[in-house]
Amino acid sequence: MAHTLRLDAPEREHLYHLAEVAYTPGRQTDTIEVGPEIQGIIDALDRHPAAIYNTRYDVLATDPAYRNLFGVPEMARTGIRNVLWTLFTVAEEACPIVHRTQELPIMVATLRGAHGRHTGEPARESFAERLSAAGPYFAELWRGENVAPPGPRVKTFRHWAATDEIRMTSVSLSVNGLPECRIVACTPADEKSSEQVAALLRRREA
């Protein structure tokens, strides 16, 4: 059943718990796989950064624009395809989000909002513990009680090749067939940001 429903590791563990069956982690990854149909939809959004996240902010799929604008070396170096892990463990000047103290608490509150459905699951608890140890700011925010649902945001980003900051509007869309996953798509929030994004995309294509 877990395979049919395409559950990730924490969700498989929760299913076993409900069935009162011992759960033994196998050699499966912590995230579900995105099929070619969903990947095709993401790729069709190119020129507008888009990705699929699960409720733990694991990055399940991206389009070329997302990789170009938001792909940070730390994620490639560590092999940890998780947005929160990257944002909380890189140096502040390397963080792609400009207003960290404004945006990161909202992201942690969103994580906590989903975490309540998985309380006690070792995979989820272990992730929070490991990130708390690696990122003191995350540990501080995680001790709080704030919760929030995913929603539209206007965020300000930096890119090493851009001449100015980039303001992007991000929206979240649910994905049928991928439980507790969402497409996050971004569009420039103003004309200046649109010009910055266009310049970066031209640079990619050069």
Report CA-CA distances (Å) from 136 to 5, 87, 158, 188.
36, 12, 22, 31
Burial class (CB in 10 A: 0-12, 13-18, 19+), 10: buried
At 22 the pLDDT is 47
Place of tokens 């992730």: 127
At 98 the pLDDT is 94
At 5 the pLDDT is 43
Rounded Cα distance between 74 and 147, Å, is 27
- The reply to whether the predicted model has a pTM over 0.75 is yes
Q: Which domains does the chain have, with CATH numbers?
A: 2-205 (3.30.450.180)
| 77 half-sphere exposure, CB direction, 13 A CA radius | 7
Rounded Cα distance between 48 and 7, Å, is 28
At 19 the pLDDT is 52
At 23 the pLDDT is 42
At 20 the pLDDT is 53
Q: Which amino acid is at 100?
A: R
Strand partners, 183: 52, 173
Per-residue pLDDT tens, the chain, 206 aa: give them: 444 444 445 455 445 445 554 444 443 344 567 889 999 999 999 889 999 999 999 999 999 889 888 876 667 677 788 999 999 998 888 889 999 999 999 999 999 998 878 888 888 899 999 999 999 999 999 998 899 988 899 999 999 888 899 999 999 999 888 888 999 999 999 999 999 999 998 887 76
Q: Assess contact for 57 and 84: CB atoms under 8 A.
A: yes
Report CA-CA distances (Å) from 91 to 46, 58, 137, 163.
29, 20, 12, 20
Q: Which amino acid is at 202?
A: R
Nearest CA to 25 out of 33, 35, 16 is that of 16
Q: Which amino acid is at 67?
A: R
Phi then psi dihedrals of residue 155, to 5 deg = -115, 150
At 205 the pLDDT is 77
